[in-house]
Structure 1
Amino acid sequence: MNLFVEIFYLAAAVLFILGLKQMASPVTARRGIVWAGIGMVLATLITFAHPHVNTNYLLIIIGIAVGGGIAWKTGKEVAMTDMPQMIALYNGMGGGAAAAIAAVELIKQHEMDSTVQLLAVFGALIGSVAFSGSLIAFGKLQGIKQLRGAFRFKNQQRINAGLFIVVAWMGLGIATSGTDYGMFTLFLFFALALAFGVMMTLPIGGADMPVVISLYNAFTGLAVGFEGYVLDNPAMMIAGIVVGSAGTLLTQLMAKAMNRPITNVLFSNFGETTGEAQEVSGSMKAIEAPDAAIMMAFAEKVIIIPGYGMAVAQAQHKIWEMTKQLQERGVTVKFAIHPVAGRMPGHMNVLLAEAGVPYDIIYDLDEINEEFRTADVALVIGANDVVNPIARTDPNSPIYGMPILNADYAKNVIVVKRGQGAGFSGIENHLFFADNCRMLYGDGQAVANELISNMKEL
């Protein structure tokens, strides 16, 4: 590779790293995305000057045009509620691309350095798992009937472990056999790796999707980094390492937020418990919008807890308008965000930023939890499992031990909910039956409108 190409790849890698650094803060995240995007454009354009490209310009242009056109159209049209599905799908495409690169290099059966061949196989395995697993995650998030919930059967984890051992054994054989492996062996290796990605994801319930998305994001980054080494492409190596390490750290944070070790995330049935769950006592008590408006308007402190239901109702703009009404009346309003609220990491933060909510009134779980005891009202809109007190008290609950937002410690709790059903995980929420909790039924956006109207009349 000539010096000219290497310099531009280095510049692209620096932009990737600086962009990721900027994304660490919501204040500079938009700038970071732009910088990383410029780095990607630079890396793509300089590839035309790569000596290995030769006469394949037409294929590159067609690939960029087709992929870029689809991405532009879907990116412009996808609703914010469907963003987790799109992230899962695009992440899977990255893993699939890395696996495809490995497949091409291995199909050629040319002499490779032993380290290079080993990394090619590792990238193929991880990329294939990320690809097929992300497709299943997409289906679960999309609500495809056959994939919803946790699909489990007897001895599933033993079968998965056996499948992984077979795939790893075949991969090691390919990596150490030089050019002596056959095409059937290679085909079977990829088929079983894809099957393992499917089997690994099927037992996972909807409540654990944020962990899954960040986990497969880490897999994709690692696969891209490995294949960058195979192709001797510094930009791919650095980008893959950056994405892989960031995804790994995020997975650890998500697992901590769910109170699950990484080994449990990788090898256990998520949310699997034994024993009988605690029965719910009491009853749900309804409240009307005028009474809820009075309760909040005359409060000193209100903490708002958004969840996926707010995203579905597209209520974030109205909630911000209501917040401004409360602030004008001298009420202190804060937003409390659980790390796994929504369907992907940072989902609620993105929605609130879209509505214009200032970053300085948005707090993470650790920052806000102690303040619920001094809050007059906790307004829960669309959240469920992240405020369920059963996580503290019932060892037989699938979410037992998960850190939750202490909404039940507030003097009053108002829950905006369309009906009386359980959340995405299917677990009954004991908060809804508490003495200090009132249910405000209706669509999130319509309810917010009612609250605003009633506040204006006070």
Structure 2
Amino acid sequence: MVELLGDTGLSLVYLVAAILFIQGLRDMTHPRTAVRGNLTSAAGMFVAVAATVIAFEILDPAILLAGLVVGGAIGTVLAVKVQMTEMPQLVGFFNGMGGGASALVAGAEVVQLGSANGGAIPAEVGVAAAASGIIGAVTFTGSLVAAGKLHGLVTGSAIRYTGEHVVKAALLAIAVASGLYMIVQPDVLAGVLQGSAVPSFWLLLVAASVLGVTLVISIGGADMPVVIALLNAYSGLAAAGTGFVLGNSALIIAGTLVGAAGMILTVIMCESMNRSLTNVLFGGFGEAGTSDDEVDEIYEGNITETSPTEVEMLLDTASRVVIVPGYGMAVAQAQHAVAELSELLAENDVDVEFGIHPVAGRMPGHMNVLLAEADVPYDRMTELEEVNPTFAQTDVVFVIGANDVVNPLANTDDSSPIAGMPVLNVAEAGTVVVNKRSLSPGFSGIPNPLFAEDNCLMLFGDGQEMAQEVVGEYKESH
């Protein structure tokens, strides 16, 4: 440790970084302050990293600088190039990198301590390293699989096989046993360093890495947002564990904050889907599809199609309109056209709001960010609890790219996969216009009886094209 900072100075710098982390998380709880929160948290991380580089002789400064430049360049390119619709899988990828880095850093410290002390490591370091290694490795491979499912590189279906839970239990047992052996018999490292034994820590990493793949590959793509939130918590816990290994308070605080925030997010998403975390991990949501006969029984002869011209006529006579965005809007990049439509309606004294379901996108806040990107005022974005009581007084609801979050089966069919899930009760409005490419089911794999209701009109086609045509019709009539 150099004299430039000293123990007290380093602790004070880490305290400043921790304060910035906490304030950043606080700001990220609302879309209006989220950008500031990201910048504040980034500043805290910069302070922590800079202090660590200055205070400890880790590597040659030139190598560290090169790593920072390369990493910063990659992050900048990803931030600029990746589309908003791809943010969930990018978050998953970042979770994996964080977990993997934590596990490898903990392993490097274990080897270094073992080499310096003839194979012996303190028990508390062994416990923290084993925890960081298991959680970090599971996070690394599990996050890559989750990101792959969301991006279409890995099948979105749940891959199940006979004895899968036995395999997972065996892998976990191997990882835990390896960690215990490292803690109870640390002299194993002496043999490792002489090249005469297999390091228990690396065996732990291998078993935990395979476990991460088996855990996530058996979960359907519909549940990947919840899985990514959970893995986000895991990445924080892995970082905190590595902080204990290194005796680094900044890493402990940052990891604990990420772990707590990720777990809270996971709970919120589970509540929004009315499902327990156990059900998400083992329930196979969306696996059981609906037969063609059942679909025909619901839809055949009951679907009423409409056109942009007819939609404009409905909007022209409405005094209150609620727009319900879904993931289909994000995929179609229709947020700007929808934002323009809402502005035109507001200019003509129409009371217009956006009804946003917590899991309408692939992560909570996804729709809010997309709409904010299109300059939709924050006061027009209304959460489920606030907007639901107003649908009965709404003339027109325009649902664009949403399916499961407006499915009334959640309220009427106890046997449905989405039974009890809080949904937007759009059917209570005077008229519901639903824009989708087809009648294909949502993530749950079940049909939506809303589409066959008497007050529902289906506007089939690409979300962006349809919204732009409605905007064009509205402009011509005004």
TM-score between the two structures when normalised by the length of structure 1: 0.94
Aligned to 1:150: 158
Cα separation, 1, equivalents of 2:342 and 2:199: 62
Aligned to 2:421: 402
Cα separation, 2, equivalents of 1:70 and 1:324: 37
Q: C-alpha displacement at 1:118, in angstroms? A: 0.4
Cα separation, 2, equivalents of 1:327 and 1:101: 55
1:447 aligns with 2:466: yes
Cα separation, 1, equivalents of 2:236 and 2:283: 23
Q: C-alpha displacement at 1:291, in angstroms? A: 0.6
Aligned to 1:374: 393
Cα separation, 1, equivalents of 2:428 and 2:173: 48
1:232 aligns with 2:247: yes
1:178 aligns with 2:186: yes
Q: 1:118 aligns with which of 127, 137, 142?
A: 127
Aligned to 2:192: none
Alpha-carbon spacing, 1:245–1:165, altered in 2? closer, same or farther (3 Å): same
1:310 aligns with 2:329: yes
Cα separation, 2, equivalents of 1:120 and 1:52: 21
Aligned to 2:234: 219
Q: C-alpha displacement at 1:36, in angstroms? A: 0.9
Q: Which moved more, 1:127-136 or 1:173-182?
A: 173-182
CA shift digits 1:430-458 (9 cap, x unpaired): 22222221111121111111111111233
Q: Which moved more, 1:235-244 or 1:37-46?
A: 37-46
Structure 2 SS opposite 1:183: coil
Alpha-carbon spacing, 1:164–1:381, altered in 2? closer, same or farther (3 Å): same
Aligned to 1:29: 34
Cα separation, 1, equivalents of 2:303 and 2:176: 52
Cα separation, 1, equivalents of 2:416 and 2:89: 27
Cα separation, 2, equivalents of 1:420 and 1:275: 13
**Which letter maps to 2:145?**
I
Aligned to 2:85: 81
CA shift digits 1:86-110 (9 cap, x unpaired): 1111111111111111221233335
Q: C-alpha displacement at 1:390, in angstroms? A: 2.0
Aligned to 1:203: 218
Q: C-alpha displacement at 1:130, in angstroms? A: 0.9
CA shift digits 1:171-199 (9 cap, x unpaired): 23323322336534333221110111111
Q: 2:298 aligns with which of 281, 292, 301?
A: 281
Alpha-carbon spacing, 1:404–1:176, altered in 2? closer, same or farther (3 Å): farther
Q: 1:251 aligns with which of 242, 252, 266?
A: 266
1:71 aligns with 2:86: no
| Contact map agreement 1:272 1:398 (CA 8 A) in 2 | no
Q: 2:409 aligns with which of 374, 387, 390?
A: 390
Q: C-alpha displacement at 1:256, in angstroms? A: 0.7
Q: C-alpha displacement at 1:275, in angstroms? A: 10
Cα separation, 2, equivalents of 1:398 and 1:127: 32
Cα separation, 1, equivalents of 2:389 and 2:40: 37
TM-score between the two structures when normalised by the length of structure 2: 0.90
Alpha-carbon spacing, 1:331–1:389, altered in 2? closer, same or farther (3 Å): same
Cα separation, 2, equivalents of 1:188 and 1:69: 33
Structure 2 SS opposite 1:405: coil
Cα separation, 2, equivalents of 1:272 and 1:420: 18
Cα separation, 2, equivalents of 1:27 and 1:226: 33
Q: C-alpha displacement at 1:367, in angstroms? A: 1.7
| Contact map agreement 1:157 1:267 (CA 8 A) in 2 | no
Q: C-alpha displacement at 1:159, in angstroms? A: 3.1
Aligned to 1:49: 54
Q: C-alpha displacement at 1:249, in angstroms? A: 0.7
Aligned to 1:136: 145
Alpha-carbon spacing, 1:274–1:356, altered in 2? closer, same or farther (3 Å): closer
CA shift digits 1:63-86 (9 cap, x unpaired): 212211111111111111111111
Cα separation, 2, equivalents of 1:236 and 1:31: 22
Q: C-alpha displacement at 1:148, in angstroms? A: 2.2
Q: C-alpha displacement at 1:223, in angstroms? A: 0.7
| Contact map agreement 1:297 1:329 (CA 8 A) in 2 | no
Aligned to 1:241: 256
Cα separation, 1, equivalents of 2:37 and 2:308: 41
Cα separation, 1, equivalents of 2:402 and 2:280: 23
Written as runs of structure 1 = structure 2, the 5 A alignment for 1:284-433 is 284-433=303-452
Written as runs of structure 1 = structure 2, the 5 A alignment for 1:264-275 is 264-271=279-286
Aligned to 2:62: 58
**Which letter maps to 1:367?**
E
Identity of aligned residues (%): 45
Alpha-carbon spacing, 1:172–1:264, altered in 2? closer, same or farther (3 Å): farther
Structure 2 SS opposite 1:378: strand
| Contact map agreement 1:413 1:436 (CA 8 A) in 2 | yes
CA shift digits 1:254-296 (9 cap, x unpaired): 1111111223334443456699996552432210111111112
Q: C-alpha displacement at 1:313, in angstroms? A: 1.4
Structure 1 SS opposite 2:416: coil
Cα separation, 2, equivalents of 1:392 and 1:154: 34
Written as runs of structure 1 = structure 2, the 5 A alignment for 1:154-169 is 154-169=162-177
Alpha-carbon spacing, 1:99–1:268, altered in 2? closer, same or farther (3 Å): farther
Cα separation, 2, equivalents of 1:113 and 1:184: 17
Q: C-alpha displacement at 1:222, in angstroms? A: 0.7
Alpha-carbon spacing, 1:159–1:395, altered in 2? closer, same or farther (3 Å): farther
CA shift digits 1:280-318 (9 cap, x unpaired): 524322101111111122112211111111111111111
Unaligned runs of 5+ in 2: 2-6, 190-196
CA shift digits 1:321-348 (9 cap, x unpaired): 1001111222111111111111222111
Alpha-carbon spacing, 1:170–1:275, altered in 2? closer, same or farther (3 Å): farther
| Contact map agreement 1:206 1:425 (CA 8 A) in 2 | no
Q: 1:262 aligns with which of 252, 258, 277?
A: 277
Aligned to 2:193: none
Unaligned runs of 5+ in 1: none
| Contact map agreement 2:286 2:443 (CA 8 A) in 1 | no
Alpha-carbon spacing, 1:444–1:231, altered in 2? closer, same or farther (3 Å): same
CA shift digits 1:347-399 (9 cap, x unpaired): 11110110111111111112211222221111111111111122223344322
**Which letter maps to 2:201?**
L
Structure 2 SS opposite 1:342: coil
